[in-house]
Structure 1
Amino acid sequence: MRKKQAIKMITASLLTIFIILVSINYLSSGTNISNPNTSLRTKQNTPQNEQEAEQNETDSKEEQTENSEKQSLTDDIKDKVENIVDGAVGFFLKKNLDIVAIGDSLTQGVGDTTNNGGYVGILNSRLSTEKQDVNIENLGKRGNRSDQLLKRLDKQEIASSIKDAEIILVTIGANDIMKVVKENISDLEYEQFVKEQVDYKQRLREIADKMLALNPDASIYFIGFYNPFANYFKDIEELGLIVDNWNKTDQSVADEYEQVTFIPTSDLFSSYNEEAVFYKDNFHPNYAGYQLMASRILEYIRPEIEDKSDG
Structure 2
Amino acid sequence: MRKILVTVFMLLLVVAIGFVIYPPGSGDFQSNGNLSQNREPGAEQYESESTIKNEEDTISDKVSQTVTDVVEKTIDFFVPKTLKIAAIGDSLTQGVGDETENEGYVGVLRNRLQNSNVDELVIDNYGKRGNRTDQLLTRLKENEDIISSVKNSDVVLITIGANDIMKIVKQNFTSLSYEMFREEQPAYQKRLKEIFETIRQYNSEAHIMLVGLFNPFAQYFEDIPELDKIIMDYNFIGQQVVADYSPATFIPIKDLFINSDKNLFADDHFHPNSQGYELMGERILYYVKQVYEIEQN
**TM-score of the two chains, using structure 1 as the length reference:** 0.67
Mapping 1:217-232, distance limit 5 Å: 217-232=205-220
The answer to whether the Cα contact below 8 Å between 1:94 and 1:306 also exists between their aligned partners in 2 is: no
Q: Percent identity?
A: 50
1:175 maps onto 2:163 in alignment: yes
Specify the alignment match of 2:85 in structure 1.
Answer: 99
Mapping 1:1-311, distance limit 5 Å: 93-130=79-116, 132-154=119-141, 155-273=143-261, 276-306=263-293
1:99-152 CA-to-partner distances (Å, cap 9, x unmatched) read 011100000001111101000011101111237200111110000000000000
The total of aligned residue pairs comes to 216
1:166 deviates by 0.4
The answer to whether the Cα contact below 8 Å between 1:94 and 1:307 also exists between their aligned partners in 2 is: no
1:307 deviates by 6.2
DSSP-derived class of the 1:142 partner:
coil
Q: Which runs of 5+ in 2 are unaligned?
A: 1-77
What is the one-letter code of the residue matched to 2:223? D
1:97 deviates by 1.1
Specify the alignment match of 1:87 in structure 2.
Answer: none
Kindly name which structure, 1 or 2, has the bigger radius of gyration based on alpha carbons.
2
What is the one-letter code of the residue matched to 1:284? H
Q: Which runs of 5+ in 1 are unaligned?
A: 1-91
Distance (Å, rounded) in 2 between the aligned partners of 1:186 and 1:271: 29
What is the one-letter code of the residue matched to 1:115? E
**TM-score of the two chains, using structure 2 as the length reference:** 0.70
Structure possessing the higher relative contact order (Cα contacts under 8 Å, 6 or more residues apart): 1
1:305 deviates by 2.9
What is the one-letter code of the residue matched to 1:216? S
Cα RMSD (Å): 1.5
Specify the alignment match of 1:7 in structure 2.
Answer: none
Distance (Å, rounded) in 1 between the aligned partners of 2:294 and 2:278: 24
DSSP-derived class of the 2:197 partner:
helix
DSSP-derived class of the 1:256 partner:
coil
